[in-house]
Chain A
Amino acid sequence: MDGTGNNSQLTIALAGNPNAGKTTLFNSLTGLKQKVANYPGVTVERKEGVWKVGDRSANLIDLPGLYSLDATSLDEQIARDIITGEQIGVPKPDAIIAVVDATNLERNLYLVTQILEYGVPVVIALTMIDVYEKQEHEIDVEMLSVLLKTPVIAINAKTGRGKEELAAKVAEVLHTKPVIPDIFGEVPEADGDNVKIFARYNFISNAVQESTWHSDQKKHRISDKIDRILTHKFFGLVILVLILLVVFQTIFSWSSLPMDLLEKGFGAIADFVKAEMPPGILTDLIADGIVAGVGGVLVFLPQILLLFLFISLLEDSGYMSRAAFLLDKLMSRVGLHGKAFLPLMSSFACAIPGIMATRTIENRRDRFATIMIAPFMSCSARLPVYTLMIASFFAGQTIFGFVSVGAVLMLGMYSLGIFAAIATAFVLKRSVLKAPPPPFLMEMPPYRMPNLRTVLQNMVTQAWMFLKRAGTVILAISIILWALMYFPRSIQNTEVSSQKTEAVAATEGDRAEADAPPLPESEQIKNSYAGRLGHAIEPVITPLGFDWKIGVALIASFAAREVLVSTLSIIYNVGKDENEESETLISAVRDAKREDGKPTWTPLTALTLMVFFVLAMQCMSTLAVVRRETNSWSWPAFMLVYMTGLAYVAALITFQAGKALGFD
């Protein structure tokens, strides 16, 4: 609908530079909860929501950020196509809200001058005005509106300032034809792009100079002062390492109490089931399969929440862009595009949004190189594996008396992933994906106090995803794994019993077979389907220091990484003999014994397993997304083979070298 007066749904697009506050405004107007962060390029797909404009309903589209309408990358192309009405299946917008960051007025208005030329009614939403005023600048919104010949509304999405005014202004402009300011003046049509760019900036500069005042030019901005230290090539890196160490150490210390409580809680549930239900196969499934499998993963919820608390705080404060700046030099040396940082950063939560975020990279080869290395970043699914290993073998140990070994190991695993990614990119960019890295200008958002709502929202979203996964995929896999570890039962009992009681049977007939005592559970699991599979792959994993039980867990973890934890939990519960006491997964891992009586796990085995998990490609969903994003089977197949091959070799080196040095 285009202002003809009928009541069909309006289409309104939110357009603006990356990190101008579009998604915050979108969430505020629609009440939705799209991810928000204080760095550019968070929105790579079109997001839609419903917004009330006067008495009419509008479909509000949150577009990916773009600096111009020249559209050199996929996300910019989508945004441009929607604005111009050329996107198939999306009606041309009835109005555009141009989101403009007041702290970067000139650069943000460049895009606005291009949008105005498309003849669609435009309202400018001026964001970050509070930050702008804190920097001791003033802006005359009305004057700016007059000079641009376009309505300008000052907005604060967090407090709600200007929201109603914005809706009223959008309703008002729907029936008007926009006035296009005379930007080019006497510039002839035939003149080149550079002349037009200059003319645009000249027009914008005049408008900005006439509508803004800077009350204190002498004072250095606080952000600049902080940046001198945080982006220093030496001290910046030292501070980055220290921040990460503090984050990991805090995660371990803060999460230990809730984790213990959860573990005891799930243990109590399993004991309750066994005590209250009649003995039998269903009781075993619930206690040893469902509660042990799902509970084994759920106990890591406190770590997940804390990890995302810190990631959100670092993102929202603006520190992540400084971390990007510090690593950019290294990334560009190996040939990675500067824009690869955000996808790689997103991959620390999950590789899937990270891989989708590579759409901001224009060059196909640069994009594919980033996709190929994104899964090396330690995602949240690896966290339960790292935590289980560290809690089992390195808990309470310190270096210099105060630095936790667990935090150092965790930092080491994250660093190993980054190092593997950089090394892989170095090889790929000099072989199959050869291309010169394009120049990249990085935007440094100003520091700001993290928004509590945004931080909590990110934590709740991640916690919900974790719980949903535990209640669906992990639950289903736990049940199937339990069945594979429990069966075949009666047949195996009969077979083995009949061998054992052959002599007795000869004298007492069939009664002896029926009365033969069942095999101990530890023998039972060895003869189960999973046990047979584990034994079949044992020759391959023995050089890594793993036994067949770890082998079963490794195979299962190729469905999803955290399944390793639930599988070990089920294995040690199902395989527990009647005279063995109930124990937590951590103590079960510590006490597990091989058939020759030696401990299954040592600190070296734990370290080897962690190294394997850093590098192996164990996520079907990631492979599916790589297939979709590359439109090829070769790339996901290549990724699966080279990552898992690399993981095996690195784990082999870790174990054998550790053994040679006497650590086994």
Chain B
Amino acid sequence: MDIQLLIVIAIITAAIAYGGLTLFRKRRSFSTKGGCGSDCGCSGSSKKLTS
């Protein structure tokens, strides 16, 4: 296997890993609401609107 092909495989693997990691991070933001608790007041621990 020539050196160019090896480097290309490494670059493509890195790109796929980065894409996977980004998707994983997105999945977390899709699934949780706790992250915004102290900011937007909409988490379970926040109080209900009073009026």
Contacts A78-B39, A78-B41, A480-B19 given: A71-B30 contact, CB under 8 Å?
no
Q: Which of B2, B22, B40, B49 contacts A72 (CB 8 A)?
A: B49
Binary contact readout B28-45 vs A (1 if CB under 8 angstroms, 0 otherwise): 011111011111111001
A263 to B30, CA, bound (A): 37
A439 interfacial by beta-carbon distance below 8 Å: no
- A residues contacting the other copy or chain, number (CB 8 A): 42
Q: Is A514 an interface residue (CB 8 A)?
A: no
Q: Once the chains bind, are A77 and B39 in contact (CB under 8 Å)?
A: no
CA A278 to CA B5, docked complex, whole Å: 13
B38 and A480 within 8 A (CB)? no
Contacts of B50 in A (CB 8 A): 71, 77
The answer to whether A87 and B26 touch (CB under 8 A), given A70-B51, A475-B15, is no
In the bound complex, residues from chain A placing their C-beta under 8 Å from that of B4 are 278, 280-283
CB of A500 closer than 8 Å to a CB of B: no
Q: Does A74 contact B (CB under 8 A)?
A: yes
Q: Is the CB of B11 within 8 A of A81?
A: no
Instruction: Of the listed stretches A117-125, A149-157, A160-168, A621-629, name the one at the interface; the rest are far from the partner chain.
Output: A621-629
With a CB–CB cut-off of 8 A, which chain A residues contact B33?
628, 631
Contact A620 B40 (CB under 8 A): no
User: How long is the Cα–Cα vector from A72 to B48 in the complex, in angstroms?
Assistant: 11
Within 8 A of B (CB), among A257-300: 278, 280-283, 285
Any B CB within 8 A of the CB of A525: no
CB proximity of A558 to chain B, nearest CB, Å = 13
CA distance A489 to B34 in the complex (A): 47
Q: Smallest distance from the beta carbon of A616 to chain B beta carbons, Å?
A: 19
C-alpha gap A278/B2 in the complex (Å): 12
Asked if A46 meets B39 with Cβ closer than 8 Å, knowing A479-B12, A620-B26, the reply is yes
Asked if A365 lies at the interface with its beta carbon under 8 angstroms from chain B, I say no
Q: Known: A283-B4, A479-B11. Is A77-B41 also a contact (CB below 8 A)?
A: yes
Does B18 lie within 8 Å of A624, measured CB to CB?
Answer: no
**Of B11, B16, B22, B46, which is within 8 A of A88 by CB?**
B46
A628 partner, pick from B7, B30, B38, B49, beta carbons under 8 A: B30
User: Least Cβ distance of B14 to chain A in Å?
Assistant: 8
Closest to B37 in A: A88
Asked if A627 and B38 make an inter-chain contact with CB atoms under 8 angstroms apart, the answer reads no
Q: B34 to nearest A CB, angstroms?
A: 10
- Among A70, A75, A285, A473, point to the contact of B22 (Cβ < 8 A): A473
Q: Which residue of B lies closest to A86 (CB)?
A: B47
Distance in Å: Cβ of A226 to nearest Cβ of chain B: 37
The closest CB in chain B to the CB of A284 belongs to: B8
Q: Which residues in B have their C-beta under 8 angstroms from that of A74?
A: 40-42, 49
Interchain residue pairs A-B with the least CB separation, the first 7 = A282-B4, A479-B15, A280-B4, A476-B15, A476-B18, A45-B39, A624-B29
Can you report 25 A-B residue pairs in the complex whose CB atoms are below 8 A from each other? Answer: A45-B39, A70-B51, A71-B51, A74-B41, A74-B49, A78-B39, A88-B37, A280-B5, A281-B5, A281-B8, A282-B8, A283-B4, A285-B8, A359-B40, A472-B18, A475-B15, A476-B15, A476-B19, A476-B22, A624-B26, A624-B29, A625-B29, A627-B29, A628-B36, A631-B33
Other than A283-B4, A476-B18, A479-B12, give 16 A-B pairs with Cβ distance below 8 A.
A44-B40, A71-B49, A77-B46, A77-B49, A81-B46, A87-B38, A89-B37, A281-B4, A282-B8, A285-B8, A473-B22, A476-B16, A624-B26, A625-B29, A627-B31, A628-B29
Q: Which B residues contact A (CB, under 8 angstroms)?
A: 2, 4-5, 7-8, 11-12, 15-16, 18-19, 22, 26, 29-33, 35-42, 45-47, 49-51
